[in-house]
Chains A and B, each alone.
Chain A
Amino acid sequence: SAVISQKPSRDICQRGTSLTIQCQVDSQVTMMFWYRQQPGQSLTLIATANQGSEATYESGFVIDKFPISRPNLTFSTLTVSNMSPEDSSIYLCSVRDLGAELFFGEGSRLTVL
């Protein structure tokens, strides 16, 4: 399975600021996804990161709030913009390898004060 590295692993941010989370994979992968896991909750798909084009967002998530980049087949970023305490969550990068299974990174734990 692919090795997925996320940075930062955790951060504490002030309301109104923005934070960019990086996801690096050790091999080329077909698809990359960003999920959100609110405290004690399940995982919700934010968007599919498309290489070289705009991300595909799920209902309830918009590009202005969660801009995503994917410049190549091994790297993606998720920015959480104009943060509020409701954005405090774990943000997870997920990738699909050639075997079709989905794998997750360790997550980035964000606390907004």
Chain B
Amino acid sequence: QLQLQESGPGLVKPSETLSLTCTVSGDSISSSSYYWGWIRQPPGKGLEWLGSLHSSGRNFYDPSLKSRLNISIDTSKNQFSLTMRSVTAADTAVYYCGRLIGGSLIHYWGQGTLVTVSS
């Protein structure tokens, strides 16, 4: 059974870097045909697709965030990560990791982790 679990700091200071990790069990990132990615949801608001990455290196990013975002894979730990630089209060959200079909459709979701950007 596929499971994804986000981990990382719940509080990040403005202008600093947000770093989250998603640990995958039940599938091998390195051999999977699927993409691995991140979606966020500001409190009380809608969903925002951030980006996704395949183990081959093929990736998709939201162009409006691309300059601040990086998604990477650690196949030895069966994990993938999100880093977002220069965060502001507008980046406060629940961050979900997911397994994606074709880089876009999220068919498995982690439980989500709230990240608050505040000094």
The answer to whether A and B belong to the same complex is no
**A residues at B contact (CB < 8 Å):** none
B residues lining the A interface (CB < 8 Å): none
